[in-house]
Amino acid sequence: MEPVECRVVIRVLYLKGRTPQETFDEMKETYGDNAPSYDLVKRWHREFKHSRKSVETALRPGCPPSAINEAFVRQVEAAILEDWRITIRQIAQDVKISTGSVETIIHDHFHMHKVSARWIPRLLTPFQKREG
């Protein structure tokens, strides 16, 4: 059972005047092992009682979970293709993201690592890396 679907069912049963225990019992009967826990049902009942309307998860303040998106990936790729000798620090300054994010993009998205001051794909043989 998807979390949003679960909250929708809890909200509907809350609006019908069901208690958290009645809601839990009905969901347990309907969904079996896929039903949410009683604590979760109770928490969402409390949220709806305190005027919450949305069943969507609210965004939390603070840093986003990751700064890596397609736009940054394309910018890093363009910087590397323009100058194979560019450093991670220079890329981070140009793209305006952290050096850790640049490293993640280079290693996880492009599967490259630094050899002799150049970015080389990891799939090359050692001989090809020396010749490149």
In the prediction, which pLDDT does 118 show?
A: 67
Q: What percent of the chain has pLDDT over 90?
A: 33
pTM for the model stands at 0.46
The pLDDT, as a whole number, for residue 37 is 93
Alpha carbon distances (Å) from 51 to 14, 33, 38, 92: 12, 29, 20, 44
Question: Which pLDDT score, from 0 to 100, does residue 4 have?
Answer: 86
Q: How confident is the model at residue 55 (pLDDT cuts 50, 70, 90)?
A: confident
Residue 78 is predicted with a pLDDT of: 92
Range of weakest confidence among 10-14, 73-77, 125-129: 125-129
Please work out, in degrees rounded to the nearest 5, the angle formed at the alpha carbon of residue 116 by the alpha carbons of 121 and 101.
55
Q: Mean of the pLDDT values across residues 16-30?
A: 94
Within 8 A by CB and 6+ apart from 57, the residues are 3, 4
